[in-house]
C-alpha cells in the first residue's frame, strides 16, 4: 500500500479504473438531476398566475375626490390624497410588518393598529417602529380622464399629478 | 339533573382519555405481554382465566408466526422479544434503574411525545370537518365550535395540547441542557432535538393560520413580513410560503399541507431517529455518576455490547 501511494505521488495522478470513472459519472449525473429537480420544484411552487387584486387599477374620476382629502381604497390598500397642488397615491400597508394602516381625520394622521406607527397624510413617518415612510405609487390620468394607480411603480414623494 | 346528552359527552371524553392513555402506555404493556410477564413474575402455572387464555394464545401458530419466539424465560429471549419487533424497537431492551426515577427525566420527553400523539389523533379528527378554503375554513371552525358533537372538545384539546407541547419541548430541552445531555456521545441527538424544536414551532405557526380569523390572518401577515426582512432570499421565501404576495387562498392551502402532511411526517421520522439514538448513545443521562470512566472495569460500552464490538467507534467516550 505504501509503495502504491508513493507511486501516485510520483506520477502525480492516480490510475482511474472503469469503476472509478462510472462512479464519478453516476454521482455527477445524480447531482445534475438533483439540482434540476430542485429548480423545477422551485418553479412549480412559484405561482405564475395570481388571483389577487391587480397591481394597476383605475381609481375613478378626479372629481370624486374633494379638495384636501384623504380617501382610503379598501380593495387596493391605497390612500388617494388630493391637495391644492394635485393628486398622489400613498400605500396603506405599514412599512413595519405589513398591517393595514388607518386614516384618522380627527388626528390628521395615518395610524397603524398593530404596533402604533404614525404617519402624516403624505406618508412621512411621525413615530413608531416603522423603519420607512409609506411609499408613493405612480398615479396618472387615462385618456378617458380617470385616475390610474400603478402599485408596481413607486415614485418620489414630491411627484404629484396636477389635474 | 343528569341528561342523556351530558352522559354521552362524558362517556366519550372518558373513552378518548383512555384511548390516549392506551396509546401512550400501550407499547410497554405489549412488551410485557410478549416478553411473558407471567414468566417473569415466576407464575409458570396458568391459574387465572386470563393467564390461561394468554398461555393458549402464545401457543397458537398465528402467534408464533408473528412473534417467532417462545416464552421469554431469560434476559436474552426477553431482549430478543424487543429487538424482533419493529414497534418495540424504540423501547430499550434494558434500562438502568436510575433512568426510570422521576427525578432522572421528570418524564419531560415522554410528556412531549404523549402530547404529540394527542395532537396527531385530535388533528386527524379535526381534518374530517375542515376545508382549507376561504370562507369555508372559518365556517368549519365555527361549526366545530358550536354545532359538531364534541367538536369544541377536540378543537380545544388540539389547541391547548399544541401550546402544552411547545412548553414541554422547552422544559425538556432546558432539562437536557442543564443535565449536560448535549455532550458527547449525545451531541448528534441534541442536534436532532433542536431540529425537532424547529419542526414543533413551524407546526405551531402553520396551524395558527388555519382558523382563518383576524388573529390568524394578521399573525401570518406579520410573521411572513418578518421573513421578508431577511436579505436577498427573504422576499422570495415569503412569496414561496404564501404562494403569492398576500395571505390568501394559496397561503391557507400551503400552510394546511405543511401543517397536516409535510411537518408531521418530518416530526415522526425525526422522533424515530431521536428515540433510537437515545439507546445508541448509551441511554438517558441520569446525572453526575452517569459517566462510566473508560478505565474502570472492562465493561465495553453499552452500544458495542449490543452490536458486537466494532473498534469501539460508537462507544461511550469519556466526558
List the domains of chain B with CATH numbers: 24-94 (no CATH), 106-290 (1.20.810.10)
Residue B215 forms contact with A (CB below 8 Å): no
Q: Stretch A94-101: mean pLDDT, rounded?
A: 91
pLDDT of B42 reads: 45
In this structure, the answer to whether residues A25 and A96 fall within a common structural domain is no
B230 touches A: beta carbon within 8 Å: no
Structure confidence at residue B67 (pLDDT): 73
Confidence of residue B281 (pLDDT cuts 50, 70, 90): confident
User: Above pLDDT 90, what percent of chain B?
Assistant: 48
Residue A72 lies in a domain: yes
- Give dist(CA A38, CA A35) in Å, integer: 5
Residue B206, class by beta-carbon neighbours within 10 Å (0-12 exposed, 13-18 middle, 19+ buried)? buried
In this prediction, residues B171-180 reach a mean pLDDT of: 92
A107 and A149 in a single domain? The answer is yes
Q: Which residues is A127 bridged to in the sheet?
A: A118
In this predicted structure, the answer to whether residue A98 has a pLDDT above a threshold of 60 is yes
Instruction: Return the percentage of chain B with pLDDT > 70, whole number.
Output: 78
Compute the mean pLDDT over every residue in chain B, rounded to the nearest whole number.
81
Residue A93 and residue A63 in one domain:
yes
Q: Which residue of A has its CA nearest to B229?
A: A97
Residue A80 lies in a domain: yes
Query: Do residues A39 and A84 share a domain?
Result: no
Confidence of residue B139 (pLDDT cuts 50, 70, 90): very high
Confidence of residue B72 (pLDDT cuts 50, 70, 90): low
* pLDDT of res. B52: 81
B225 contacts A98? CB cut-off 8 A: yes
- Distance between CA atoms of B214 and B70, rounded to whole angstroms? 60
pTM: 0.76
Residue B307: pLDDT band by 50, 70, 90 thresholds? very low
- How many CB atoms neighbour CB B126 within 10 A? 22
**Judgement on whether residues A26 and A91 belong to the same structural domain of the protein:** no
The neighbouring-strand residues paired with A154 are A137
Q: What is the per-residue pLDDT for B313?
A: 41
Same domain for A29 and A82, yes or no, is: no
**Is position A51 within any domain?**
no
More confident residue, A12 or A150: A150
Question: Residue A50 falls within a domain, yes or no?
Answer: no
- Give a yes or no: residue A14 inside a domain: yes
Choose the most confident range, by mean pLDDT, from B222-226, B243-247, B260-264. B260-264
Nearest residue, CB atoms, B244 vs list A50, A98, A99: A50
The pLDDT score that the predictor gives to residue B57 is 81
- The pLDDT of residue B36: 54
Q: What ipTM was assigned to the predicted interfaces of this complex?
A: 0.77
What local confidence, expressed as pLDDT, does residue B268 receive? 96
B83-101 mean pLDDT: 74
Q: How far is B209 from chain A (nearest CA, A)?
A: 16
Same domain, yes or no, for A149 and A74?
yes
Dihedral sign for Cα atoms in the order A40, A41, A47, A49 = positive
CATH number for the domain spanning A108: value is: 2.102.10.10
Looking at residue A44, its pLDDT comes to 95
Mean pLDDT of B38-44: 46
Cell of A54: 391587480
A68 and A143 assigned to the same domain: yes
Q: What is the pLDDT of residue B5?
A: 79
Q: Tell me the mean pLDDT in the region A115-129.
A: 92
Smallest Cα distance from A50 to chain B, Å: 7
pLDDT over threshold 90, residue A12 = no
Average pLDDT over residues B278-284: 82
Quote the number of domains for chain A. 2
Give the least confident one: A86-95, A125-134, B7-16, B159-168. B7-16
Looking at residue B15, its pLDDT comes to: 78
Q: Do residue A61 and residue A119 come from a single domain?
A: yes
CA distances from B258 to A79, B166, B205, B265 (A): 36, 18, 10, 10
Q: From A77, which residue of chain B is nearest by alpha-carbon distance?
A: B246
Residue A161 lies in a domain: no
User: Cβ of B221 and A50 within 8 Å?
Assistant: no
Asked if A97's CB is within 8 angstroms of B221's CB, the reply is yes
Q: Residue A4: which pLDDT band, with cuts at 50, 70 and 90?
A: low
pLDDT of residue A149: 94
With bands split at pLDDT 50, 70 and 90, how would you rate the model's confidence at B303? very low
Domain that holds residue A64: 56-155
| SS3 of chain A: helix, strand, coil, percent, to 5 | 25, 30, 45
Closest chain B residue to A76, measured at CA: B246
Q: Do the domain assignments include residue A93? A: yes
Q: Are residues A12 and A86 in the same domain?
A: no
Q: Residues B172, B210: contact at Cβ < 8 Å?
A: no
Q: Residue B87 in contact with residue B276, Cβ under 8 Å?
A: no
Q: What is the reported pLDDT for B33?
A: 64
> How confident is residue B309, by pLDDT bands cut at 50, 70 and 90?
very low
- The per-residue pLDDT for range B242-256, each reduced to its tens digit, is 999 889 999 999 999
Give the confidence band of A6 by pLDDT, cuts at 50, 70, 90. low
Which chain B positions have a beta carbon within 8 Å of A50's beta carbon? 244-245, 250
- Residue B252 C-alpha, separation from nearest chain A C-alpha, in angstroms: 14
Q: In degrees rounded to 5, what are phi and psi of residue A154? A: -95, 145
* A160 falls within a domain: no
Q: Over 90: is that where the pLDDT of B16 sits?
A: no
Does A12 lie in the same domain as A73? no
Query: Do A74 and A125 lie in a common domain?
Result: yes
Amino acid at each position: 500500500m505504501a509503495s502504491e501511494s508513493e507511486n501516485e505521488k510520483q506520477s502525480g495522478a492516480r490510475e482511474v479504473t472503469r469503476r472509478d470513472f462510472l462512479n464519478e459519472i453516476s454521482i455527477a449525473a445524480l447531482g445534475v438531476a438533483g439540482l434540476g429537480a430542485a429548480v423545477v420544484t422551485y418553479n412549480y411552487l412559484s405561482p405564475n398566475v395570481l388571483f389577487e387584486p391587480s397591481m394597476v387599477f383605475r381609481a375613478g374620476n378626479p372629481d370624486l375626490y374633494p379638495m384636501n382629502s384623504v380617501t382610503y381604497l379598501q380593495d387596493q390598500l391605497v390612500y388617494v390624497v388630493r391637495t391644492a397642488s394635485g393628486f398622489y397615491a400613498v400605500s396603506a400597508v405599514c412599512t413595519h410588518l405589513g398591517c393595514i394602516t388607518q386614516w384618522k381625520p380627527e388626528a390628521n394622521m395615518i395610524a397603524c393598529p398593530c404596533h402604533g406607527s404614525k404617519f402624516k397624510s403624505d406618508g412621512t413617518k411621525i413615530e413608531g417602529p416603522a423603519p420607512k415612510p409609506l411609499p408613493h405609487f405612480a398615479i396618472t390620468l387615462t385618456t378617458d380622464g380617470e385616475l390610474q394607480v400603478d402599485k408596481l411603480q413607486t415614485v418620489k414623494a414630491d411627484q404629484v399629478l396636477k389635474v | 339533573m343528569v341528561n342523556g346528552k351530558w352522559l354521552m359527552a362524558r362517556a366519550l371524553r372518558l373513552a378518548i382519555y383512555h384511548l390516549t392513555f392506551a396509546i401512550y402506555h400501550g407499547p410497554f404493556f405489549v412488551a410485557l405481554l410478549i416478553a411473558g410477564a407471567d414468566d417473569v413474575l415466576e407464575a409458570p402455572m396458568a391459574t387465572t382465566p386470563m393467564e390461561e387464555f394468554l398461555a393458549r394464545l402464545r401457543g397458537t401458530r398465528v402467534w408464533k408466526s408473528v412473534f417467532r419466539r417462545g416464552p421469554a424465560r431469560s434476559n436474552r429471549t426477553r431482549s430478543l422479544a424487543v429487538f424482533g419487533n419493529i414497534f418495540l424497537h424504540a423501547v430499550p431492551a434494558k434500562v438502568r434503574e436510575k433512568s426510570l426515577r422521576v427525578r432522572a427525566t421528570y418524564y419531560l420527553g415522554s410528556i412531549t411525545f404523549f402530547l404529540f400523539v394527542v395532537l396527531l389523533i385530535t388533528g386527524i379528527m379535526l381534518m374530517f370537518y375542515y376545508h382549507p378554503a376561504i370562507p369555508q375554513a372559518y365556517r368549519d371552525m365555527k361549526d366545530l365550535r358550536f354545532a359538531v358533537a364534541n367538536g369544541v372538545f377536540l378543537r380545544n384539546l388540539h389547541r391547548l395540547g399544541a401550546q402544552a407541547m411547545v412548553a414541554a419541548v422547552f422544559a425538556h430541552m432546558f432539562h437536557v441542557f442543564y443535565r449536560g445531555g448535549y455532550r458527547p456521545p449525545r451531541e448528534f441527538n441534541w442536534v436532532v432535538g433542536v431540529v425537532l424544536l424547529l419542526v414543533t414551532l413551524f407546526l405551531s405557526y402553520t396551524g395558527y393560520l388555519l382558523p382563518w380569523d383576524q388573529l390568524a390572518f394578521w399573525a401570518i401577515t406579520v410573521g411572513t413580513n418578518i421573513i421578508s426582512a431577511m436579505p436577498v432570499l427573504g422576499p422570495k421565501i415569503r412569496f414561496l410560503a404564501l404562494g403569492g404576495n398576500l395571505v390568501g387562498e394559496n397561503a391557507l392551502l400551503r400552510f394546511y399541507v405543511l401543517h397536516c402532511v409535510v411537518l408531521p411526517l418530518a416530526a415522526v421520522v425525526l422522533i424515530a431517529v431521536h428515540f433510537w439514538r437515545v439507546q445508541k448513545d448509551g441511554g438517558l443521562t441520569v446525572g453526575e455518576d452517569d459517566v462510566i470512566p473508560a478505565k474502570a472495569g472492562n465493561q465495553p460500552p453499552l452500544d458495542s455490547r449490543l452490536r458486537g464490538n466494532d473498534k469501539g467507534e460508537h462507544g461511550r467516550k469519556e466526558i
